[in-house]
Structure 1
Amino acid sequence: MGVDRVRWGIVATGNISTSFTRDLKLLADDAEVTAVASRSQTSADRFAAEFGIEQGYGDYRRMIDSGTVDVIYIGTPHPQHYAIARAALQAGVAVLCEKPVTLTAEQARDLIAVATEHKTLFAEAMWMRTNPVIQAFFKELDSGVIGEPQQVVADFAFYKPSLPTRLLDPALGGGSLMDGGIYPMTFAYMALGRPAELKAVGSLNDDGIDLNVAMAWRHDSGAVAALTCGLRSQNPWVASVSGPEGSLQLPHRFHHPEYYVRSTAAGAERIDVPVHGLGYHYEATAVMQALRDGRTEVPSLPHASTLEILELLDETRSQIGVRYPGDDDDLSG
């Protein structure tokens, strides 16, 4: 990959794809959106017209095979991620796929294997990891300012009188875990690593959709985490890590914050970190740097973390009784 602008293809035309594409405009010197694909040619054409994209496709395979994109961003509902990402990786087209990249750890393991085999970059779009505030937060945590972390608390629950249909559809990977719970889980994982023990309880509706979930993690270090997600309450969406010397706290919308707070014996101090745009361009920048470096993995979006979080999601779902399409698939052949 030379110094030319990276050519992006956008798969799906919903809210998340709109936000991502809008942020790519901030990277105009480095990035160019050359194509968009949707299940509907009309939607693709409308999106292309809105963003000045040259080519719209009513079929993602045609875009992958067009030779006009270096990397695709996948913003479809969760169950469609796997097949689209696999097709792109097999064609040698790099992939940034919305989280969770797949519904099961088994599917994610397969995608990582395909990416490795075809020497093609693959990354999960866990944008929280690439946020400058989050990165500064964990750099300070690693410095030992609060001592060894002992407790993590994080929540991500929201309520709307009329929820998007996909959130209540098991066939679409509905429920609170995949859309919301993945954030507290990723935060705790970044702070403490993989837990030695996980316990979860959940309230499910008649369709088997998780509406309220609480998770408790225990680590070999002695640290614990208390994590919640749901679709029935307006939560503060805050997160914190505490140790013997104090705590570091992230405010409302902790997954893309503008500052954090350090509380120690010296008092509480707000730490502001410059951020701009909607926050999606940080992950796009990381992907493009990895592409130019000839990597198959983005350092700030590591495959091992993607896989371990999905294994923890699998275990959590198993404990609370949530099942998705693909749970019984054997991909080992």
Structure 2
Amino acid sequence: MEKRIKWGVLGYAKIAREQVIPAIVRASNSEFYAIASRDAEKAKQCQEKFGCSKVYKSYDELLDDPEIQAIYIPLPNSLHKEWTIKAAQKGKHILCEKPIALNTEEALEMIKVCEQNNVKLMEAFMYRYTDRTRKVKELLDSGIIGDVKYINSSFRFLLSRENDVRMAPELGGGSLYDVGCYPINFVGMVTGSSPVSMSGECVLQNRVDVLFSAVLKYENGIIAVINSGFNAFTRVFSEIVGTKGVMEIPDTFFGNAGTITITTAEGRKEIEVQESDRYQLEVEDFADAVLNNRQPLFSLEETVRNMKIIDQLLDRR
């Protein structure tokens, strides 16, 4: 029987209960072992629904459990650093929601503590585990659209829920942190480098950006435009323009089936994309990295690159 990593989850946030905990349950090399929640009723609901072995009233109690090997952190952005460091100091491997921290300084401190305690740390960019992302990379590598010159990537939706933590500045709210980090990462994946200059504009509401657009320029002449927002209808779409053609990627960051469209001088071609269980694949990759002492698919180098760009854009608000 395949070895399984025992997971503990800090908090019963929506992303945890709807996506990641079910993914841990489905994963072939993982066991959903423990939940910690200050809300006893929520913890009870979680145990009844997913059948975890242990329920804890505090995060510290969960981290003290020697059975737990890996921690998933779905807490508000402002708490990522504190609980990643505490988990690392207890010898736990950590899968932390994006953005990994509020700034590069925090991220580097988290990475250092994890290295000192010999534990794995990965930022939870689940879209990197989809068939859609794999095919985008394959198509780029094939040279079908030539040399990339322009990238446009958007991730926005209408945030209508009242008292959402994403609208709280003290908790690390804002669209750039929440969804803008995806287009930034996508552009980084395509270019494989950091921009040499950038500029950004945003619309603020209660000290939180509800709309953010930025232009990034790269040393090799590529220009990228990224857009994020909470204040208008959903738009999740990217295009990559090259010297020989254009690639259009609807639902860029989702795991649903669909198509990627390639337009060249020869005409338009639709590339089929298969549905992907992106959260399960993410959990299985991280658990396998722990079991086999290797690096997971998504690197900390990319995490730091992302964070540096976010820092610079927020400084330019």
Task: Tell me whether the two structures share a fold, i.e. TM-score over 0.5.
Answer: yes
The answer to whether structure 1 residue 312 and structure 2 residue 316 are counterparts is: no
Instruction: Tell me, yes or no, if the aligned pair for 1:155 and 1:235 is still in contact at 8 Å.
Output: no
Distance (whole Å) between structure 1 residues aligned to residue 73 and residue 275 of structure 2: 24
Match of 2:196 in 1: 196
Question: Counterpart of 1:308 in structure 2: which amino acid?
Answer: R
Displacement after TM superposition at 1:142 (Å): 2.2
Displacement after TM superposition at 1:253 (Å): 5.2
Question: Counterpart of 1:38 in structure 2: which amino acid?
Answer: S
Match of 2:128 in 1: 129
Question: Counterpart of 1:99 in structure 2: which amino acid?
Answer: K
Match of 1:219 in 2: 218
Q: Given the superposition, is the C-alpha separation of residues 163 and 315 from structure 1 closer, same or farther in structure 2, using an over 3 Å criterion?
A: farther
Instruction: Tell me, yes or no, if the aligned pair for 1:157 and 1:231 is still in contact at 8 Å.
Output: yes
Distance (whole Å) between structure 2 residues aligned to residue 196 and residue 69 of structure 1: 43
Instruction: Tell me, yes or no, if the aligned pair for 2:131 and 2:276 is still in contact at 8 Å.
Output: no
Match of 1:323 in 2: none
Deviations 1:221-270 (A, max 9, x none): 11100111111111421001110111222113544453322222232222
RMSD: 1.7
Instruction: Tell me, yes or no, if the aligned pair for 1:156 and 1:237 is still in contact at 8 Å.
Output: yes
Distance (whole Å) between structure 2 residues aligned to residue 133 and residue 159 of structure 1: 24
Match of 2:178 in 1: 179
Distance (whole Å) between structure 2 residues aligned to residue 182 and residue 283 of structure 1: 17
Match of 2:293 in 1: 294
Moved over 6 A (4+): none
Deviations 1:13-41 (A, max 9, x none): 121001111122322x3211111112223
The answer to whether structure 1 residue 22 and structure 2 residue 33 are counterparts is: no
Richer in strand (by share): 2
| Secondary structure of 2:22's aligned partner | helix
TM-score of the superposition, structure 2-length normalised?
Answer: 0.94
Instruction: Count matched residues.
Output: 314
Match of 1:84 in 2: 83
Q: Give the 5 Å matches for 1:160-171.
A: 160-171=159-170
| Secondary structure of 2:68's aligned partner | coil
Instruction: Tell me, yes or no, if the aligned pair for 1:134 and 1:257 is still in contact at 8 Å.
Output: no
Distance (whole Å) between structure 2 residues aligned to residue 152 and residue 252 of structure 1: 15
Q: Given the superposition, is the C-alpha separation of residues 24 and 266 from structure 1 closer, same or farther in structure 2, using an over 3 Å criterion?
A: farther
Question: Counterpart of 2:179 in structure 1: which amino acid?
Answer: G
Match of 1:328 in 2: none
Distance (whole Å) between structure 2 residues aligned to residue 117 and residue 62 of structure 1: 22
| Secondary structure of 1:151's aligned partner | strand
Question: Counterpart of 2:315 in structure 1: which amino acid?
Answer: S
The answer to whether structure 1 residue 260 and structure 2 residue 260 are counterparts is: yes
Identity across aligned pairs (percent)? 25
TM-score of the superposition, structure 1-length normalised?
Answer: 0.90
Instruction: Tell me, yes or no, if the aligned pair for 1:7 and 1:68 is still in contact at 8 Å.
Output: yes
